[in-house]
Amino acid sequence: MPASPVPGGAAAPASHGASGAAGGWGEPSGGPEYPWAPPAEEREVPGRRARERARRGLGSLIAVGLVAGLVGGGVGWFASSQTNERIGGSYVELPTAQKGTTDRPPGTVASIAEAVLPAVVSISVSTESEEDTGSGFVIRPDGYILTNHHVVASALDGGTIEVRFPDARTATAKIVGQPDAQSDLAVIKVDGMSGLVAARLGNSDSVVVGDPVVAIGSPLGLAGTVTSGIISAKDRPVTAGGGREGESSFINALQTDAAINPGNSGGPLVNGRGEVIGVNSAIATLGGGPFGGGQQGNIGLGFAIPINQAKNIAEQIINKGRAVHPVLGVSLDPTYQGVGARIIDDSQARGGQRPVLPGSPAEKAGLQPGDVIVQVDDRRITTSTELVVTIRDKAPGSTVKITYKRGSETRTVDVTLATDAQLNQR
């Protein structure tokens, strides 16, 4: 502890008492004016009084020194504590903000999150060989949950699906019907739970580029994570892994820059009114396509299945046990480098593959091997993937106008779309 004038001052009286025989305060001479004077016989013993005074003085010095140490330590602690509380000689008290409110205006990210989070769940799938995680959202209060096919695909061969709700309740879920790898959608259901909050579904056809959106899910297992951004593009043709080897999903996607990471899959993409407009499903990565190699985190290129398509698939799975898709009935050439989607020719057919399926809508409309499809209704077709997602975005049984090139000639025909189930029956 630093030197202090207080301990020195306390020790000073003991120093004076120890040197009294040498005339510090003077020696009393006895007599009635000094009633405290010692008896004469004691004063007559040479050195006796001096020795006794020395002993008493040493005892007083030790006692006073001990007290001084205690007092000095206490004073030093007090001074130190005051130094910690005082800066520049004055007591410092930082200002406190006024009590605010947690209410947020409608349309803010906070208000949207508050409305939607109760309907968003975390999904864990456990099998003997692996564990997968993802997200989902409640679409009916009686326990139906929409998610991605690739989130629950591993449970198709046996496994456990556990759903965790925002209130920390957990439940085991079962897959409803047949998950749809082509659209990367699946429905699961939990039993024995009541009072579930269902998400409000919007209309993805009303979305425009630049609309603000919020993505909610469980990236890397972090439940209830909220990110925000905008709609970067619409009708973005995306091919993504469907969850099993050899399976691919074709998505006519909504593109967003809201941060989406592994584990967000199956969670909702929400508009400014708190309505679900898409199912977060894929991300672009550096060094690879969606779900490919390279950097696996968010780089601002996320893709969601439009809710209108997802709603249609979910209703079919719940009501009929499986979903059917509109088809044209052609085999496409993935190596074609020109603009459009080219139907393979007979020389490219492999393993019983046919360029144009017999009895298909394409055959009935007069399409032939080698034709290049360049437009469906008012949408320009630049790749095979774009043709697939455009056709799948239509309703089975609907009629579309298809423009194609055959050599130097361009033709347009009306085609009534069938379903994959109908063609498989032939």
Q: Residue 91 above 80 pLDDT?
A: yes
Classify domain 105-322 by CATH architecture.
Beta Barrel (2.40)
Instruction: Average the pLDDT over each of 59-68, 229-238, 263-272, 380-389 and give the range with the smallest value.
Output: 59-68
C-alpha to C-alpha distances, 424 to 316, 356, 358, nearest whole angstrom = 18, 14, 11
Q: Residue 60 above 90 pLDDT?
A: no
pLDDT at residue 171, as a whole number: 96
The answer to whether residue 184 is catalytic is yes
pLDDT at residue 16, as a whole number: 40
Which contacts (CB < 8 Å, 24+ apart) does range 169-177 have?
Answer: 169/193, 173/123, 173/145, 176/144, 176/317, 176/318, 177/317, 177/318, 177/320, 177/321, 177/322
pLDDT at residue 163, as a whole number: 97
Written as six digits, the tokens of 216 are 């909610």
The answer to whether residue 218 is catalytic is no
Quickly count: other Cβ atoms within 10 Å of residue 355's Cβ. 24
Q: Residue 14 above 90 pLDDT?
A: no
Query: Mean of the pLDDT values across residues 207-216?
Result: 98
Mean pLDDT across the chain: 82
Quickly count: other Cβ atoms within 10 Å of residue 111's Cβ. 15
Q: Residue 326 above 70 pLDDT?
A: yes
Mutual angle of helices 48-85 and 5-18, in 10-degree steps: 170
From the list 135, 228, 265, 384, the catalytic residue is: 265
pLDDT at residue 125, as a whole number: 96
Scanning the structure block, which residue is given the tokens 């556990």?
162
Helix (H, G, I), strand (E, B), or coil: what is residue 360?
Answer: coil
State the DSSP code for 69: H
Query: Chain-centre distance of CA 219, in angstroms?
Result: 4
Per DSSP, helices labelled H in 139-294 are: 149-152
Model confidence band, residue 89 (pLDDT cutoffs 50, 70, 90): low
Written as six digits, the tokens of 369 are 């091997």
The domain ranges of the chain are: 5-86, 105-322, 326-424
Considering the chain, what percentage of its residues have pLDDT values greater than 90? 61
Q: Residue 188 above 80 pLDDT?
A: yes
Max mean pLDDT among 88-92, 97-101, 303-307 falls in: 303-307
Share of the chain residues as helix, strand and coil, in percent rounded to the nearest 5: 30, 30, 40
Per DSSP, helices labelled H in 126-244 are: 149-152
Q: How far apart are CA 239 and CA 243, in angstroms?
A: 12
pLDDT at residue 295, as a whole number: 59
Query: Mean of the pLDDT values across residues 20-32?
Result: 40
Instruction: Average the pLDDT over each of 204-218, 258-272, 292-306 and give the range with the smallest value.
Output: 292-306
From the list 132, 135, 149, 150, the catalytic residue is: 150
Quick check: 18 and 57 in contact, CB under 8 A? yes
Farthest CA pair distance, the chain: 148
Model confidence band, residue 157 (pLDDT cutoffs 50, 70, 90): confident
Sequence-ordered list of residues with C-beta below 8 angstroms from that of 351, at least 6 positions apart, any chain:
none
Written as six digits, the tokens of 376 are 């469906």
Sequence-ordered list of residues with C-beta below 8 angstroms from that of 311, at least 6 positions apart, any chain:
201
Q: Residue 241 above 80 pLDDT?
A: no
At the fourth CATH level, the homologous superfamily of domain 326-424 is: PDZ domain (2.30.42.10)
From the list 184, 257, 333, 393, the catalytic residue is: 184
Backbone angles phi, psi at 351, to 5 degrees: 60, 45
Q: How far apart are CA 154 and CA 318, in angstroms?
A: 20
pLDDT at residue 244, as a whole number: 57
Quick check: 328 and 362 in contact, CB under 8 A? yes
Q: Residue 304 above 50 pLDDT?
A: yes
Q: How far apart are CA 193 and CA 142, in angstroms?
A: 7
